[in-house]
Chain A
Amino acid sequence: AQTVTQSQPEMSVQEAETVTLSCTYDTSESDYYLFWYKQPPSRQMILVIRQEAYKQQNATENRFSVNFQKAAKSFSLKISDSQLGDAAMYFCARETSGSRLTFGEGTQLTVNP
């Protein structure tokens, strides 16, 4: 089975500091999409960032950026200048052929004031 693995069930960061969430995945495809979604206590799933595998440049969205290592099948999320509102469960996901997202197990991020 093609999987997505998040090895950090929980992470914590001090407000204004930087934190990196890890994600590795398995795929036999050369062209695919990767995503990070955020799920705050409201349980709404919110897209944080998207990366297209054929693009070498790492995606960036304001304080959120990724480190995409295609050969290593690694897709980590870096949150800079962490804010209290960043506290949430973060899910890494890979688009799978056949129109679906395969999700990792999630990383619960706590932001300490």
Chain B
Amino acid sequence: DTAVSQTPKYLVTQMGNDKSIKCEQNLGHDTMYWYKQDSKKFLKIMFSYNNKELIINETVPNRFSPKSPDKAHLNLHINSLELGDSAVYFCASSQDSRSVAYFGPGTRLTVT
């Protein structure tokens, strides 16, 4: 059983398009995250949700909008994609802020 799953794993799209990445966790965790890994492999948090409520928005452009329909899902919608959005996006979950974070397989987004 996959603990944290993301779809799609690869996404290639043109500038200006709108796209979504879906994330689901079956661990019963209360907290979910989105992290971005850039071309230099640097990982940085984008958003954190606890029980469907946003608790961290780390100076991410408004074009990025997370949505948590329930505790097990945290989706990421990106409007008006730009070249600089090309990266690997990781979803993760943890029981609380101090527990181990379990990561999904990542979504490699390429904007052309």
Binding site for B on A (CB under 8 A): 33, 35, 37, 39, 42-47, 50, 89, 91, 95, 97-103, 105-106
Contacts and interface: CB of A to CB of B under 8 A. Distances in A.
Contacts of A33: 98
Give 7 nearest A-B pairs by CB, closest first.
Answer: A99-B97, A45-B103, A103-B43, A100-B45, A99-B48, A43-B106, A106-B41
18 contacts: A35-B100, A39-B41, A43-B88, A47-B101, A50-B100, A95-B98, A98-B48, A98-B97, A99-B31, A99-B48, A99-B56, A100-B56, A100-B97, A101-B43, A101-B101, A102-B45, A105-B42, A106-B41
In this complex, the interface size class of chain B, counting residues with CB under 8 Å from chain A, is 20 to 34
B105 A44 contact: yes
Contacts of A44: 103, 105-106
B90 A45 contact: yes
Interface of B: 31, 33, 35, 40-45, 48, 50, 55-56, 58, 88, 90, 92, 96-98, 100-103, 105-106, 108
A75 B68 CA distance: 35
Contacts of A102: 45
A100 B56 CA distance: 8
Nearest to B101: A101
Contacts of B44: 103
A33 B98 CA distance: 7
Contacts of A106: 41-42
Contacts of A99: 31, 48, 50, 55-56, 96-97
Contacts of A98: 48, 55-56, 97
Contacts of A42: 105
Contact of B100 (A47, A97, A100): A47
